[in-house]
Amino acid sequence: MKGVIDNLLDLLFPPKCVFCGKLLDLQEEGLCAACRRDLPWLEGAAAEQVLGGGFLCVSPLRYRGSVRDSLRRYKFQGCRGYHRAYGPLLAHCIQVHLEGQYDLITWAPLSARRKRERGYDQAYLLASAAAGVLGTKAVPLLRKVKHTAAQSGLEEDAQRRSNVQGVYAAFNPAAAAGKRILLVDDIVTTGSTLVSCAKVLQEAGAVGVACAALARAR
Ligand SMILES: [Zn+2]
């Protein structure tokens, strides 16, 4: 239920669909009925892909059209509040494909420098929102120890892979040891970021790692 402040904010800034920008009706939350129907959803086996290293990754949406535009606003134009709309979509996908297959939820973090520049870590906000829907909390297990060029600016796969080697480290290995971990990111393209994070978690003693990304680029 919404509090007084939320209702006041809704009056001042009427909620809009995070994908198409349409003003939402009272019964619509986060996204409009048309987007709920027409977005490029991935369903059944299409939502699952196996990344390098054999890690499973599930995604509810394809990264194209209004999904891509929305995620760009979320990452690069300060629309941090979008995680509230994204969280339930990712949580539903996790429930359908990975129910009972993980003990902890974590995320692929930004470097301290990038987080300072952006003001927020979009993967953390997304992981937290999805975890909240799933009745748990996102736990920090990784650190980005090396600042890298933005992945979206690197076109070559080989360049993307070498861009993430040695970039992540375990933040709290004792918390990862013996656990099955669900690793969240906003977008999966080549999977190189998720795979390098998953390998670090394995080295820290995780007994399994599965991944979930809101949108899949390939
Ligand atoms: Zn819409």
Reported as type and span, the H/E element at residue 185 is strand 180-188
| Helix (H), strand (E) counts: the chain | 9, 8
pLDDT of residue 7 exceeding 80, the answer is no
Parallel, antiparallel or unpaired: strands 56-58 and 48-50: antiparallel
Report the pLDDT value the prediction gives residue 38, as an integer from 0 to 100.
97
CA of 30 to the centre of ligand 1 (A): 9
89 Cα: distance to centroid of ligand 1 (angstroms): 14
Inform me whether the pLDDT recorded for 182 exceeds 60.
yes
pLDDT at 217: 97
How far does residue 144's CA lie from ligand 1's centre (Å)? Answer: 34
According to CATH, the topology of domain 41-216 is: Rossmann fold (3.40.50)
Q: How far is the CA of 68 from the centre of ligand 1 (A)?
A: 13
Chain mean pLDDT for the chain: 92
Q: How far is the CA of 26 from the centre of ligand 1 (A)?
A: 14
Q: How many angstroms does the Cα of residue 38 sit away from the middle of ligand 1?
A: 9
The residues pairing with 168 across neighbouring beta strands, listed in sequence order, are 144
Of 66-80, 86-100, 122-136, 142-156, the range with the lowest mean pLDDT is: 142-156
For the chain, the domains span 1-38, 41-216
Gap from CA of 138 to ligand 1 centroid (Å):
28
**Rg, Å, the chain Cα set:** 17
Give the pLDDT score at 152. Answer: 55
Mean pLDDT of 34-38: 97
How far, in Å, CA of 194 to CA of 75, rounded?
A: 17
pLDDT at 153: 53
What's the whole-model pTM score?
A: 0.90
- Distance (angstroms) between ligand 1 centre and the Cα of 41 equals 14
